[in-house]
Amino acid sequence: MKRVVDQLLRMVLVGLLLASANAFAGRGDKVGTGAAPELLIPVGARYVGMGNASASLSTGVDAIYWNPAGLSRTTTTAEAMFSYMRYIADIGVNYAAVSASFEGVGSIGLSMKQIAMGDIEITTEGVPDGTGQFFSPTFITVGLTYSRLLTDRISVGLTGNVISERIDRVSASGIAFDIGVQYSSFANVNGLNVGVVVKNIGPNVKFDGPGLYREATATGYQRPATYYKVEAATDELPSTIELAVSYQQKFAEEHALTFAGVFQNNNLSEDDYKLGLEYGFNDALFLRGGYIFGQETQPDSRIYGASFGAGLHHSFGPSLAVSIDYAYRAVKYLDGNHVFTLKLGF
């Protein structure tokens, strides 16, 4: 049975990778039209520094965002991760996740991402310069992840994310799913990994609330002004599918070099190609680089390009491992993103 599963998944992965070679199904003309764009904001400095090329190699609690199949590929019993990104326009992205492995069951993870925009002054049609009152938008995503090793080479994972958004007196909520698979030592080549992940699959999202009511007078009727509700449109989630491959080569036991590549198809934006590189020394010091590129049918539809990063890892005996990572991502026209991450393994 194990051999049959191994062969079937190998055929599926090869077929998807080959089919993606000439795929350009992205929609550059729909950039910025989707719901819950916070789902696309990456987390964790390690893989941001590698250009987001992580779907085939992310492991442990890091993998919850990138590919849930990697959650079960961990050498520790439990992990915790805390990350902060200084995003564009002084926006902060806070992220926290914990995971635990259970023998015979698999691995379970919990995650939360919060977008901090600060206070924004309220303006109206009558007072366009500001009323003196403020509101603070709230964007929170909470996820539950399950991952399991089917064989010593194949792992699968599923994440369910609950989305909650509030802007002054309007709000929206929804649910999105990620599902992924990873295959290590592909084609019996040690160090060669492939992965497939489908992200942000779910129903359309729609805003509602008292902030959508507007005072107006109906023409053709003899009645005073009353409040009418503006019916908000529903919007699609920014769904993606990633086909990924990576290869790691070790030299003299102390040096390791990892190459990674991802093709990402997007339903609401241009398709992306992502390349990442990581050098590791003695599993303690890491240097990283990455680049995102692709077809650009609409002007300025792609604002991210090169990224860089570094990390330190140290084990304090068998019961505690600590990783500290930093990444910088260049942004066209705006200040670059800075990402800081602390990860603990128990």
- DSSP conformation class of 208: B
Both tokens assigned to 315 = 């084990």
Range in 30-39, 110-119, 124-133 the model is least confident about:
30-39
Range in 179-183, 204-208, 223-227, 330-334 the model is least confident about:
223-227
**Which is higher by pLDDT, 210 or 96?**
96
**Which is higher by pLDDT, 218 or 82?**
82
pTM of the predicted structure, to 2 decimals: 0.88
Radius of gyration of the chain (CA): 22
- DSSP conformation class of 191: T
Please tell me the predicted confidence (pLDDT) of residue 21.
40
Non-local (6+) Cβ contacts of 25 within 8 A are 265, 271
Please tell me the predicted confidence (pLDDT) of residue 277.
98
- Sign of the C-alpha dihedral, residues 237, 81, 285, 76? negative
With beta carbons less than 8 A apart as the criterion, state whether 310 and 318 touch.
no
Please tell me the predicted confidence (pLDDT) of residue 78.
97
With beta carbons less than 8 A apart as the criterion, state whether 164 and 140 touch.
yes
- What would the mean pLDDT of 295-313 be, rounded to a whole number? 87
Asked whether the predicted pLDDT for residue 27 surpasses 60, the reply is no
Non-local (6+) Cβ contacts of 143 within 8 A are 64, 109, 110, 111, 112, 113, 159, 160, 161, 162
- What would the mean pLDDT of 192-207 be, rounded to a whole number? 96
* Rounded alpha-carbon distances, angstroms, from residue 202 to 160, 179, 195, 240: 10, 12, 21, 12
**Which is higher by pLDDT, 307 or 333?**
307
Both tokens assigned to 36 = 């819950």
Distinct helix (H) and strand (E) counts, the chain: 3, 20
Which of 345, 305, 339 has the alpha carbon at shortest distance from 322?
345
Asked whether the predicted pLDDT for residue 177 surpasses 60, the reply is yes
Asked whether the predicted pLDDT for residue 23 surpasses 70, the reply is no
Domains defined for the chain, CATH in brackets:
2-207+234-345 (2.40.160.60)
With beta carbons less than 8 A apart as the criterion, state whether 65 and 145 touch.
no
